[in-house]
A = this chain, B = another copy of it.
């Protein structure tokens, strides 16, 4: 089955809103083995939507429409589909009474505009919207399927998963291929170094395929397998994942939506250890990330943003002599900051970051991007690590916090 996604909305053409729906739909269709061949966006214009429907139905089997189902005059999807398929728009009694109940429960009068949302092309299957007022629908026309959903992601996602996808699976029957992807998340190595370590695996494997993508603070290795069912695709991925992992054992920290702060939190909880931070150039970003996970108060106690040197000395407790002799951006200062954080906050681990985020403040000897990160764990020797991180001020700061989390995880694993 081949598909086209048709997104409707002038705001999408004027550069006023980023289209994230088709990213989601592309992923979901791939998972059930439907080939998404085209994505088209048109404005809120009945003529152009009808024309786009004509082109889509001439080249694919399934057209998924998002947007244009709301209550305003700009919402023309219902009319366009009705005219294109030569049907009447008929009010659905169930939808009408649900709308009326929704409005009366809020003590608001339902306007004629809102009633419009209950009109559906005659004979179409209604897709309930549990998160908004406008229902979606599926209209078959000849051997083509046209499915329409609202553009609001929160409303659209459940409609796609609970109604449209099962409908598609029913049409596909038992004989179709699924596509499954898994992302491995890599930290501490750039895209080209990751590529170097695994590019022979690229050539060896055509299913699963391997893709390498650079993000701001990490590299993603995406393994994508085709198979007759989800389990078989998963097994193909498992096998290749093992080989990839062997090449990058210290750098792959997790899969898909896993984060480094989750990993650090799991290790701290497992070991029964607490952590605190002392941050200069990242100015709180490391603390903020460590507390992204709910329940992080079990292991994160506190942190100090010691931005000014006087704060490093007087509030945090770094010896003035260390800063005078080695400078605030030095391995010695990073180690002293981590130790001071441990002492001040009475924690088992201390993590410190000091560096030059730029754009100003760099010298030939200490350039922008120079960052020292120290990890100090009870019972072990504190160590400082030196990095020259690339990118803008934001990039350097984000990469420094990410690298600190990675070093913390590594040090904690070392104590396991």
Q: Hey, which bits of chain A sit against chain B, CB under 8 A?
A: 11-20, 22-30, 36-43, 48, 51-52, 55, 59, 179, 181, 211, 213, 222, 224, 277, 279, 282-288, 290-292, 294-295, 297, 300-308, 310-311, 314-315, 344-346, 358-360, 393-394, 397
Determine how close the nearest CB of chain B comes to the CB of A235; give it in whole angstroms: 21
Determine how close the nearest CB of chain B comes to the CB of A329; give it in whole angstroms: 13
On chain B, the residues within 8 Å of A290 by CB distance are 283
Q: Is the CB of B311 within 8 A of A345?
A: yes
Give the top 3 A-B pairs by smallest Cβ distance, nearest first: A284-B284, A15-B27, A15-B26
Q: What is the bound-complex CA distance between A20 and B19, given in angstroms?
A: 8
- CB-CB nearest in chain B for A303: B305
Contacts known (A41-B39, A305-B284); A19 close to B19, Cβ less than 8 A = yes
Taking a contact as CB atoms closer than 8 A, the residue among B38, B287, B397 that contacts A40 in the complex is B38
Q: Is the CB of B42 within 8 A of A41?
A: no
Q: Is the CB of B302 within 8 A of A303?
A: no
On chain B, the residues within 8 Å of A25 by CB distance are 15
On chain B, the residues within 8 Å of A59 by CB distance are 51
Copies in the complex: 2
Contacts known (A16-B211, A283-B291); A297 close to B308, Cβ less than 8 A = yes
Q: Is the CB of A38 within 8 A of B41?
A: yes
Q: Is the CB of A304 within 8 A of B301?
A: no
Return 30 A-B CB contacts under 8 Å, by A number.
Answer: A12-B26, A13-B39, A14-B27, A15-B25, A15-B26, A15-B29, A15-B30, A18-B18, A19-B19, A19-B23, A37-B42, A38-B40, A38-B42, A277-B305, A282-B288, A283-B303, A284-B291, A284-B305, A287-B307, A288-B397, A295-B360, A297-B307, A300-B307, A301-B307, A302-B304, A302-B305, A302-B306, A302-B308, A303-B304, A315-B344
Determine how close the nearest CB of chain B comes to the CB of A22; give it in whole angstroms: 7
Contacts known (A22-B19, A307-B301); A284 close to B295, Cβ less than 8 A = no
On chain B, the residues within 8 Å of A295 by CB distance are 360
Taking a contact as CB atoms closer than 8 A, the residue among B16, B42, B211, B315 that contacts A302 in the complex is B315
Determine how close the nearest CB of chain B comes to the CB of A242; give it in whole angstroms: 23
Taking a contact as CB atoms closer than 8 A, the residue among B16, B43, B305 that contacts A222 in the complex is B16
Q: Is the CB of A15 within 8 A of B23?
A: yes
Q: What is the bound-complex CA distance between A285 and B287, given in angstroms?
A: 8
Contacts known (A302-B304, A307-B300); A288 close to B288, Cβ less than 8 A = yes
Q: What is the bound-complex CA distance between A131 and B19, given in angstroms?
A: 26
Taking a contact as CB atoms closer than 8 A, the residue among B51, B294, B305 that contacts A393 in the complex is B294
**Known interface pairs A287-B305, A303-B307; 7 further A-B residue pairs with C-beta atoms within 8 A, sorted by A's residue number:** A15-B22, A17-B213, A277-B305, A283-B291, A292-B393, A297-B308, A308-B345
Q: Is the CB of A302 within 8 A of B297?
A: no
On chain B, the residues within 8 Å of A359 by CB distance are 294
Q: Is the CB of B311 within 8 A of A301?
A: yes
Q: What is the bound-complex CA distance between A303 and B41, given in angstroms?
A: 47
Taking a contact as CB atoms closer than 8 A, the residue among B23, B303, B344, B346 that contacts A284 in the complex is B303
Contacts known (A37-B43, A304-B303, A304-B305); A294 close to B360, Cβ less than 8 A = yes
On chain B, the residues within 8 Å of A52 by CB distance are 38
Determine how close the nearest CB of chain B comes to the CB of A208; give it in whole angstroms: 13
Determine how close the nearest CB of chain B comes to the CB of A279; give it in whole angstroms: 7
